[in-house]
């Protein structure tokens, strides 16, 4: 879970980090019920939490205790440090579910070299967020010149998010773009789909 500045964005009284924590708990509980191992990494400018994947009965409680203490940070995430920890401490090919966010194509392209390196060693699934307020602007009828301008910018922003999904796919990275309120369901469905396809 990325807990840097970009995950501080609010939505319906919760931050994106809150949604990521809730979704990861459901995902890990389901994985453990299916006899998969589950672990946790949280990071921002440093890797703060590392819980090795396991399927022991107490694993979910260990993860729950760690997640309860997580808070967003105000600095930028360091994916190079994340890669270093993953490379050195996760020796078996695994499914990595990265909860993060990208607001621009440029922000994705900055992280892409490290994402590609992670995907070289593991099955990487990047989960990031739609801005639902943008969708509301797009659906609203534009009548004034200013409203038309705002709607055009909103459509460009939405197009960029879809472009990010396409770019991740081109590099063999699974991408889940989701509204915050649908995060848990969409992340869980993708995990179950991968299980059914025996990708993991």
Tokens for 151? Answer: 């709607």
Q: Phi first, then psi: what are they for 119, rounded to 5°?
A: -70, -20
3-state secondary structure of 74: coil
* pLDDT exceeds 70 at position 137: no
- pLDDT category, 39, cuts 50, 70, 90? very high
Query: What is the distance in angstroms between the CA of the first residue and the CA of the last residue of the chain?
Result: 20
Q: What is the pLDDT of residues 153-174, one digit of tens each?
A: 777 878 899 999 999 999 999 9
Integer angstrom CA distances of residue 13 from 6, 7, 21, 73:
16, 13, 15, 18
DSSP letter (8 states) at residue 36: -
């Amino acid at each position: 879970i990325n807990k840097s500045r970009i995950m501080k964005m609010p939505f319906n009284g919760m931050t994106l980090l809150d949604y990521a924590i809730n979704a990861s708990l459901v995902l890990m509980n389901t994985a453990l019920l299916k006899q998969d191992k589950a672990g946790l990494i949280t990071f921002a400018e440093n890797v703060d939490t590392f819980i090795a994947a396991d399927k022991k009965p107490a694993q979910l409680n260990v993860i729950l205790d760690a997640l309860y203490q997580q808070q967003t940070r105000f600095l930028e995430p360091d994916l190079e440090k994340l890669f270093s920890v993953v490379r050195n401490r996760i020796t078996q090919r695994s499914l990595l579910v990265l909860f993060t966010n990208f607001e621009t194509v440029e922000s994705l392209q900055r992280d892409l070299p490290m994402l590609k390196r992670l995907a070289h060693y593991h099955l990487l699934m990047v989960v990031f967020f739609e801005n639902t307020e943008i969708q509301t602007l797009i659906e609203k009828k534009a009548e004034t010149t200013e409203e038309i301008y705002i709607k055009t910018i909103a459509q460009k922003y939405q197009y960029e998010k879809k472009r990010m999904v396409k770019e991740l796919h081109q590099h063999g990275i699974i991408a889940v773009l989701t509204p915050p309120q649908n995060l848990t369901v969409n992340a869980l469905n993708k995990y179950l789909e991968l299980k059914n396809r025996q990708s993991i």
